[in-house]
Amino acid sequence: MTAPSNNDMPQPRVTEALRFDYLTAFPEGYAKLAAWGHVINNSGVEQSLLELISMRSSTLNGCAMCLDKHSKQAIKAGETTERLFAIAAWRDSPYFTARERAALQWTDAITNIQTGHAPLAAWHEMLIHFTEAEAVQVTHAIANMNSWNRLAIAFRHRVGEK
């Protein structure tokens, strides 16, 4: 028995850029992920910090679409370009507060969970600068952004595509 050729297989709806419209292919999933983000954005954690988290997560994951979106949102919210440029090297930059550094360190730990499994030292640093509720809210923000990054990357969502 011979294996079917590619010509015999149903051809997926694939474009060079966006593989298919994953946002409308599973609208319930999109709605829940967006609703989760809305809850996080209204949790009380400052919006500027949430944008820094989004930028750092997106930098680590290499999500150009999310970097484009969140850099524009951050600038609109009053963030400086110096700080946005420095996110890639936040540890060596003088632009971030101790609270922001704790959140960025936690973002690194959670985004790269496979390398350190959320080190206790990073969590303790979070608890120095955040209440327990805020630390959990920040963790939700990181997880939510990582979810968006993974979807955008998996389905080849490019900058400028709706």
Condensed to tens digits (0 to 9), the pLDDT of residues 24-68 reads 999 999 999 999 999 999 999 999 999 999 999 999 999 999 999
Name the CATH architecture for the domain at 46-154. Answer: Up-down Bundle (1.20)
17 confidence band (pLDDT: 50, 70, 90): low
Q: Identify the CA nearest to 158 among candidates 44, 42, 59, 67.
A: 67
CB 90 within 8 A of CB 101: yes
pLDDT higher at 22 or 7: 22
pLDDT higher at 159 or 48: 48
| pLDDT at 55 (0 to 100) | 98
Where are the chain's structural domains? 46-154
Average pLDDT along the chain: 91
| pLDDT at 160 (0 to 100) | 78
Has residue 9 got a pLDDT over 90? no
Q: What is the pLDDT of residues 67-89, one digit of tens each?
A: 999 999 999 999 999 999 999 99
Tell me the torsion sign for CA atoms 10, 13, 17, 19.
negative
15 confidence band (pLDDT: 50, 70, 90): very low
3-state helix, strand, coil in the chain (%, to 5): 70, 0, 30
d(CA 37, CA 31): 10
Has residue 7 got a pLDDT over 70? no
Per-residue pLDDT, averaged over 118-126, amounts to 98
| pLDDT at 18 (0 to 100) | 67
